[in-house]
């Protein structure tokens, strides 16, 4: 079991006949409460890690973003027209062929298509002007979803191995990426269980409001149950406070309470409730690509998510050093093999 200080770590173990590396950065972004910026956090974190920034001290990485929310907002965040999507996470989860799926070729939307979709959406919203160069991403792949996914839980309810469908499908390509980030629905049903079965880590966005505390406790209990019964590797990677209002006593109280419940897990970076972050999907790109990071104005939200991505990367590096894990970045490895 992968852990931080004071927690035990077990070696590779076998699940479903295949070994799973407990140090692999497969992260489920999960919280059964809606409106806590799960999708916004997953999308901006994935985009920032893939884009990289010398100014922010963040190296480029090869990233896969998986949408397991039937609302399908990850695709929308990159300007992708859902009617043009051919394969989705629904097709992956309900596949009964038993054969290895051609994920990279047929299921995933690649960097070129994502960049074209973002630039087309930006131009459409801005009187057909040319999109800025920043509205592009070179190392990000997306497995989209759509409303059909809402029926997957019923369809899979009587199927063997229903909790492990995602993990089994990802095994052939899991080493292709530095990070695999899974966006989950606002529930603790079969879709979220599939995400946490496939993941080694859980990142929890928590809205800085009172009701979030009750939902947070329920999520922790669900994670413990999945650890015991399905996925012994699953651990909390970090908790990100979102929708924060620094002027509010309630926001500060919720942040303090979460820190007491999970000491050392709370990210120092907080995400405020900002209009420009909410408006970004309308322009067809995540705020980290759309807005230049600045301390105030339109780029404030972008800066906060870039800072969170940098802190995220730093925590990964610290974990690897602590446990002696030597991971070669996939982009570096691909250049060496040319």
Sequential DSSP letters for 299-334: GHHHHHHHHHHHHHHHHHHHHHHHHT--PPPHHHHH
Digit-by-digit pLDDT tens for the chain (338 residues) are: 434 444 444 444 344 445 557 778 999 999 988 889 999 999 999 999 999 999 989 999 999 999 999 999 999 999 999 888 999 999 999 999 888 999 999 999 999 999 999 999 999 999 999 999 999 999 999 999 999 999 999 999 899 889 999 999 999 999 999 999 999 999 989 999 999 999 999 999 999 988 888 888 888 999 999 999 999 999 999 999 999 998 899 999 999 999 998 888 999 999 999 999 999 999 999 999 999 999 988 899 999 999 999 999 999 999 888 888 888 888 876 655 54
Bridge pairing between strands 13-15 and 18-20: antiparallel
pTM of the shown model = 0.92
Express each pLDDT in 110-138 by its tens digit: 999 999 999 999 999 999 999 999 999 99
DSSP 104: I
CA distances from 161 to 82, 84, 141, 155, 256 (A): 29, 30, 26, 13, 40
End-to-end CA distance of the chain: give it in Å, rounded. Answer: 35
Which residues have C-beta within 8 Å of that of residue 48, sequence separation ≥ 6? Answer: 56, 58, 288, 305, 306, 308, 309
Strand order from edge to edge, sheet including 179-183: 140-143, 63-67, 179-183, 26-29, 201-207, 235-242
What average pLDDT does the chain have?
89
- Domain spans of the chain? 13-323
CATH class given for the domain over 13-323: alpha beta
Burial of 55 (0-12, 13-18, 19+ CB in 10 A): exposed
């Amino acid at each position: 079991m992968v852990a931080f200080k004071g927690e035990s770590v077990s070696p590779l173990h076998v699940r479903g006949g295949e070994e799973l590396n407990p140090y692999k950065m497969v992260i489920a972004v999960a919280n059964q409460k809606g409106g806590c910026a799960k999708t916004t956090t997953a999308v901006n974190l994935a985009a920032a890690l893939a884009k990289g920034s010398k100014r922010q001290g963040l190296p480029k990485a090869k990233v896969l973003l998986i949408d397991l929310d039937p609302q399908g907002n990850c695709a929308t965040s990159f300007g992708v027209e859902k009617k043009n999507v051919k394969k989705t996470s629904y097709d992956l989860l309900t596949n009964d062929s038993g054969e290895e799926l051609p994920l990279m070729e047929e299921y995933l939307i690649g960097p070129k298509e994502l960049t074209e979709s973002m630039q087309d959406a930006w131009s459409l919203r801005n009187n057909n002007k040319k999109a800025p160069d920043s509205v592009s991403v070179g190392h990000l792949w997306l497995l989209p979803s759509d409303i059909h996914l809402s029926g997957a839980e019923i369809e899979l309810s009587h199927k063997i191995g229903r909790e492990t469908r995602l993990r089994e499908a990802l095994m052939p390509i899991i080493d292709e990426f530095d990070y695999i980030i899974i966006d989950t629905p606002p529930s603790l049903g079969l879709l979220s269980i599939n995400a946490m079965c496939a993941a080694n880590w859980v990142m929890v966005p928590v809205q800085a409001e009172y009701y979030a505390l009750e939902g947070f406790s329920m999520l922790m209990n669900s994670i413990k149950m999945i650890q015991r019964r399905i996925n012994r590797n699953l651990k909390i990677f970090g908790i990100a406070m979102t929708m924060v209002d620094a002027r509010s006593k309630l926001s500060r109280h919720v942040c303090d309470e979460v820190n007491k419940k999970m000491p050392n897990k709370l990210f120092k970076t907080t995400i405020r409730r900002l209009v420009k972050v909410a408006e970004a999907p309308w322009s067809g790109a995540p705020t980290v690509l759309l807005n230049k990071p600045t301390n105030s104005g339109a780029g404030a939200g972008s800066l906060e998510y870039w800072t969170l991505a940098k802190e995220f990367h730093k925590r990964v590096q610290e974990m690897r050093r602590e446990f002696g894990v030597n991971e070669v970045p996939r982009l570096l490895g691909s250049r060496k093999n040319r």
